[in-house]
Amino acid sequence: MKNSSLRQWIPAIALALVANAGLAAEPQKGGTLFVALNPEPTVLNISYHNQYANAVVSSNIYEGLVVYDENQQPQPALATAWEVAPDGLSITFRLRQGVKWHDGTSFTSADVKFSALEIWKKLHPRGRVTFAPLKDVETPDAHTVVFRLEHPALVILSALNTAEAQVLPAHLYEGTDVRTNPYNNKPVGTGPFRFKKWEKGQFVELERNPDYWDAGKPHLDRLIFRTIPDAAARGAALETGEVQVVPFAGVPFSDVQRLRDNKELAFTKKGYEYNSQIYYLEFNIRNAPLSNVKVRQALAHAINKQGLAETIFYGVTEAADSPIPKSLTRFYAQDIPRYDYDLKKAEALLDEAGYPRQANGKRFAISINLSPSSERFPFAGESLRQDFSRIGVELNPIALDVASYLKAVYTDYKFDSLIQGYSTLMDPQMGLTRLFWSKAAKPGVSYANATGYANAETDQIIEAYQREADPAKRVEQFHALQRQILTDLPAIPLVDAPFFTIYNKKLHGLDERPDASRSSYADAWLAK
CATH code: domain of residue 439: 3.10.105.10
Report the pLDDT averaged over residues 175-191. 97
How confident is the model over 277-289, as pLDDT tens digits? 999 999 999 999 9
The 10s digit of each residue's pLDDT in 342-357 is: 999 999 999 999 999 9
Both 269 and 380 in one domain: the answer is no
Domain stops at, among 139, 173, 207: 173
Number of domains the chain contains = 3
Residue where a domain stops, chosen among 173, 208, 225: 173
Same domain (yes/no): 248, 227? yes
How many percent of the chain have pLDDT more than 70?
95
If one counts every other C-beta atom within 10 angstroms of the C-beta of residue 470, the result is 11
pLDDT digits (tens, 9 = 90+) for 373-414: 888 999 999 999 999 999 999 999 999 998 999 999 999 999
Is 505 a domain residue? yes
**pLDDT per position as a tens digit, 448-481:** 899 999 999 999 999 999 999 888 999 999 999 9
Q: Are residues 394 and 422 in the same domain?
A: yes
- At residue 13 the predicted structure's pLDDT band, cuts being 50, 70 and 90, is very low
User: Is there a single domain that holds both residue 345 and residue 401?
Assistant: yes
Residue 514 lies in a domain: yes
Q: Are residues 388 and 260 in the same domain?
A: no
Res. 22: pLDDT tops 80: no
Alpha helices in 372-469 (DSSP H): 377-389, 402-410, 428-436, 456-467
287 found inside a domain: yes
482 shares its domain with 338: yes
- What is residue 272's predicted lDDT score, i.e. its pLDDT? 92
User: For residue 344, how many other CB atoms are within 10 A of its CB?
Assistant: 9
- Give pLDDT tens digits for 55-94: 999 999 999 999 999 888 899 999 999 999 999 999 999 9
pLDDT at position 143:
98
In a domain, 106, yes or no: yes
Q: Report, as an integer, the average pLDDT of 157-186.
A: 96
Do residues 319 and 226 both lie within one domain?
Answer: no
* 38-53 core/surface letters (b: 16 or more CB in 10 A; e: else): bbbbebbbbbbbbbbb
Domain presence at residue 411 = yes
Regarding pTM above 0.75, the answer is: yes
**Within a domain: residue 22?**
no
Please say which residue of 105, 138, 173 terminates a domain: 173
Q: Which residues contact 513 (CB under 8 A, 6 or more apart)?
A: 67, 68, 69, 70, 271, 274, 519
Q: Above pLDDT 90, what percent of the chain?
A: 86
One domain, residues 167 and 266:
no
**pLDDT-based confidence at residue 445 (cuts at 50, 70, 90):** confident
For residue 524, with 0-12 CB atoms within 10 Å meaning exposed, 13-18 middle and 19 or more buried, which class applies?
buried
Check which CATH number belongs to the domain holding 157 and give it.
Answer: 3.90.76.10
Asked if residue 13 is part of any domain, the answer here is no
Q: What is the pLDDT of residue 72?
A: 83
Q: Give the pLDDT of residue 51.
A: 86
Mean pLDDT of the chain: 93
The string of DSSP codes covering 325-380 is: -TTSTTT--SS-------HHHHHHHHHHTT----TTS--EEEEEEE-TT-TTHHHH
158/207 same-domain check? no
Domain containing 200: what range? 32-40+191-273+500-526
Tens digit of pLDDT for each residue in 185-230?
999 999 999 999 999 999 999 999 999 999 999 999 999 999 999 9
Q: How confident is the model at residue 446 (pLDDT cuts 50, 70, 90)?
A: confident
The answer to whether residue 260 is domain-embedded is yes
Please report, for the domain that includes residue 268, its CATH number: 3.40.190.10
Q: How far apart are CA 407 and CA 234, in angstroms?
A: 28
Q: Give yes or no: residues 336 and 407 share one domain.
A: yes
Shared domain for 484 and 459, answered yes or no, is yes
What are the angstrom distances between the C-alpha of 378 and each of 352, 368, 384, 406, 415?
Answer: 31, 10, 10, 17, 16
Looking at the fold, whether 447 and 370 belong to one and the same domain comes out as yes
- The pLDDT, as a whole number, for residue 126 is 83
